[in-house]
Amino acid sequence: DSSDITEVENYTKNKYAEPNPDLFGVAEGKNIIKIHLESFQSFLIDYKLHGEEVTPFLNSLVHDQEKNFTYFDNFFHQTEQGKTADAELIMDTSLYGLPQGAAFVTKGNNTYQALPAILKQQQGYQSQVFHGDNKTFWNRDEVYKEFGIDEFYDSSYYDMSDEQVINYGLKDKPFFEESMPMLKSLEEPFYSHLMTLTHHHPYLIDEEDATIDPAETGDGSVDRYFQTARYLDESLEQFFDDLKEAGLYEDSIIMIYGDHYGISENHNRAMEELLGEEITKFKNAQLQRVPFMIKVPGVEGKGTVHEYSGQMDVMPTLLHLLGIDAQDYIQFGTDLFSKDHKEFVPFRNGDFITPEYSFIKGNYYDNDTGEVIEEPTDKMKEQEKGVQRELSLSDKVLLGDLLRFYTPTEDWEPVDPTQYHYGNDEP
């Protein structure tokens, strides 16, 4: 009932981390370009196959100081069965996905107070999603309306002829190329989310698109994983050039993230061969790192930052960069640039990771040694309960559709989903 939202509100207000005063509002009104790296795990960064970098362009964003990116190398995905859809939900609402199924599908008509709607109401942003798949996949065409996303450029906006398509949909290179004119024509400021697709299980790639040889483990999808990652990397480099040419690069927030793992535990044998170590439960959890990189106009990149963090933390971070106080909203994450950022990363299954130790399937592990901690401290056990509590509060929000009963700010207007229409084929 509606009193539950008070319990949630007390929890999230208490967890809230004050903004970093040096960064609060620095990017107010700037365009935001958010780039989704499908199935991209952080171990690819700086990884060399056959003596070659797999993702030289992304590596350059990490290492070239003058590119002004900040890279979080201890950033984790927090998704479950909703995969891509969970990543979208978490990053635009700072709520957890559900323990089973995809909230995008089962809670697609809930009330949300999502980033696109907040940015529109607070600072007049228009928001868009670009994605070369059918708009109904993951029920996006429903839930995006609840998020207040203004335009959804789905596959009906792109040339989907055979040679441009592989696996789930449009190839990443034509995707970025054809997105450019649409991006250029947008009203500013915009919050644009571009979602890639080619680097997706089972990592199919046409011969002419492959510029690195496959790995040689004999596990086909693992072997090709590096080829589609390279293709994605090249598509991104091209996109950055096009953004520069269009004058959209320098003055925009550019944010890059991985949505979830690409190589599941079913491929441990091949991964052990490639990484040269045993994939224990502990190691598998560590492999759930995905990249998070951000460039903020006028702010010097911090290089590689080791803060332990997760997808949940992105929304409050962005709000604070734009000068909007995250405290007004129900959010489980905390600002990555705050000195009070909370350094523990819950996974959806109740496991969690901190800078010192990891709680994985009932055992605590020392991060330095990877060994089981036989006698966990009370503080550790408390944290375990804290994670359970946090997850269950988030579940209450989604299962009870509790944001119906929450008014973030005096001037907040509930989103009216009937005001949104998507797709080239819609009247």
Q: Which of 55, 70, 79, 84 is catalytic?
A: 84
* Residue 168 interface partner, choices Mn ion, ligand GP9, none, CB cut-off 5-8 Å depending on type: ligand GP9
The rounded distance, in Å, linking the Cα atoms of 74 and 80 is: 19
Burial class (CB in 10 A: 0-12, 13-18, 19+), 380: middle
The span of 78-86, 149-157, 348-356, 357-365 binding Mn ion (CB under 5 A) equals: 78-86
418 as an active site residue: the answer is no
The rounded distance, in Å, linking the Cα atoms of 241 and 249 is: 9
Q: Identify which of 226, 208, 294 has the alpha carbon closest to the alpha carbon of residue 40.
A: 226
Q: Measured from the CB of residue 99, what is the shortest distance to ligand GP9 in angstroms?
A: 16
CB closest to ligand GP9, residue no: 83
Q: Measured from the CB of residue 290, what is the shortest distance to ligand GP9 in angstroms?
A: 12
Establish if 84 lies at the interface with Mn ion (CB under 5 A): yes
Which of 40, 365 has the CB closer to ligand GP9?
A: 40
Q: Measured from the CB of residue 114, what is the shortest distance to ligand GP9 in angstroms?
A: 18
The rounded distance, in Å, linking the Cα atoms of 252 and 31 is: 5
Which of 125, 261 has the CB closer to ligand GP9?
A: 261
Establish if 79 lies at the interface with Mn ion (CB under 5 A): no
- Calculate the dihedral angle through the C-alpha atoms of 179, 180, 185, 189, rounding to the nearest 10 degrees: 90
Residue of the chain from 150, 242, 259, 307 that contacts Mn ion (CB under 5 A) = 259
Which of 27, 293 has the CB closer to Mn ion?
A: 293
Strands (E) across 132-173 are located at 151-153, 165-166, 169-170
Total interface residues for Mn ion by CB under 5 A:
4
The rounded distance, in Å, linking the Cα atoms of 140 and 130 is: 12
The answer to whether 419 and 40 have CB atoms below 8 angstroms apart is no
Where along the sequence are the contacts to ligand GP9 (CB under 6 A)?
83-84, 133, 137, 168, 197, 200
Q: Degrees (nearest 5) of the Cα angle 72, 242, 258?
A: 25
Residue appearing with tokens 């946090």: 390
Q: Measured from the CB of residue 200, what is the shortest distance to ligand GP9 in angstroms?
A: 6
In sequence order, what DSSP letters do the residues of 40-107 get, joined into one string?
A: --GGGTT-EETTEES-HHHHHHHH-GGG--EEETTEE----TTHHHHHHHHHHH-----SSS-HHHHT
Which of 129, 319 has the CB closer to ligand GP9?
A: 129
Which of 83, 171 has the CB closer to ligand GP9?
A: 83
* Residue 233 interface partner, choices ligand GP9, Mn ion, none, CB cut-off 5-8 Å depending on type: none
* Residue 256 interface partner, choices Mn ion, ligand GP9, none, CB cut-off 5-8 Å depending on type: none
Residue 347, token pair as written in the block? 């996974």
Q: Which residues are catalytic?
A: 84
Residues in touch with Mn ion (CB under 5 A): 38, 83-84, 259
